[in-house]
Chains A and B, each alone.
Chain A
Amino acid sequence: EAGVTQFPSHSVIEKGQTVTLRCDPISGHDNLYWYRRVMGKEIKFLLHFVKESKQDESGMPNNRFLAERTGGTYSTLKVQPAELEDSGVYFCASSRGGVAGSYEQYFGPGTRLTVT
């Protein structure tokens, strides 16, 4: 069984540009989460999808960030326009359906975003 995959592994963009990160969860996992680790700081929750619906987006930092999960499969996280403070590693995780907290979250390798 394939794990959670993320693309790209690394992205370098200039301030003001747009970047789209992609996450493919484990097949059949209804829950999908996005997290971010800014350099040297803790990994912070961004949002949680259950299938195609946003269950909790309380961690999204501002309206420059837009997450989608059309069809309830893969998810994209778009940053537009990117700012310097958006640099960090963006992790995606997925877990099976049911009571979300009952199941282990499997994490992807992360996308390292560098905004210059």
Chain B
Amino acid sequence: GNSVTQMEGPVTLSEEAFLTINCTYTATGYPSLFWYVQYPGEGLQLLLKATKADDKGSNKGFEATYRKETTSFHLEKGSVQVSDSAVYFCALKFTGNQFYFGTGTSLTVIP
């Protein structure tokens, strides 16, 4: 079946620290991979995506590379800010079908 496993939180970092949120997946086929972010009181927003192996998605300083050999899509940012505090969801999707999400990782960045 299809599933996504992401590192459990909560994660607390100081401002300007390096962030990694691990995400691995199991899929029957070759899905597209996504990171969504939910800021407090808001809906899920697409952060970045990658549609095939070795693609790198990037946005707002965040990056993730689609690694087929390790079935991973880890999220990284070199220097986090307080405004990055949110819940981050890793997800996979096949064209025309629904998303399969991970459990979400809560990130708090302290000044």
**Interface of A with B (CB < 8 Å)?**
3-4, 33, 35, 37, 40-45, 48, 56, 59, 91, 93, 99-102, 104-110
Distance from A25 Cβ to chain B, minimum over Cβ atoms (Å): 12
- Indicate if the CB atoms of A42 and B42 lie closer than 8 Å: no
Tell me, in angstroms, the Cα distance from A56 to B102 when the chains sit together. 21
Q: How many residues of B contact A (CB 8 A)?
A: 23
**Interface of B with A (CB < 8 Å)?**
4, 32, 36, 41-46, 89, 91, 93-104
The listed residue (A3, A41, A44) touching B43 by CB distance below 8 A is A3
- Indicate if the CB atoms of A43 and B99 lie closer than 8 Å: yes
Secondary structure type dominating chain A contacts = mixed
- Indicate if the CB atoms of A101 and B101 lie closer than 8 Å: no
Distance from B59 Cβ to chain A, minimum over Cβ atoms (Å): 13
- Indicate if the CB atoms of A41 and B103 lie closer than 8 Å: yes
Beyond the given A4-B43, A100-B96, please list 5 additional residue pairs across the A-B interface where CB-CB is below 8 A.
A43-B89, A43-B101, A45-B98, A93-B44, A100-B95
Across the A-B interface, how many residue pairs have beta carbons closer than 8 Å? 57
Q: Which residues of B contact A56 (CB under 8 A)?
A: 97-98
Tell me, in angstroms, the Cα distance from A109 to B45 when the chains sit together. 10
Q: Which residues of B contact A101 (CB under 8 A)?
A: 32, 93-97
Q: Which residues of A contact B43 (CB under 8 A)?
A: 3-4, 91, 106-110
Distance from A103 Cβ to chain B, minimum over Cβ atoms (Å): 10
Tell me, in angstroms, the Cα distance from A44 to B1 when the chains sit together. 14
- Indicate if the CB atoms of A59 and B44 lie closer than 8 Å: no
- Indicate if the CB atoms of A99 and B95 lie closer than 8 Å: yes
Q: Which residues of A contact B104 (CB under 8 A)?
A: 37, 42-43
Q: Which residues of A contact B4 (CB under 8 A)?
A: 42
- Indicate if the CB atoms of A48 and B103 lie closer than 8 Å: no
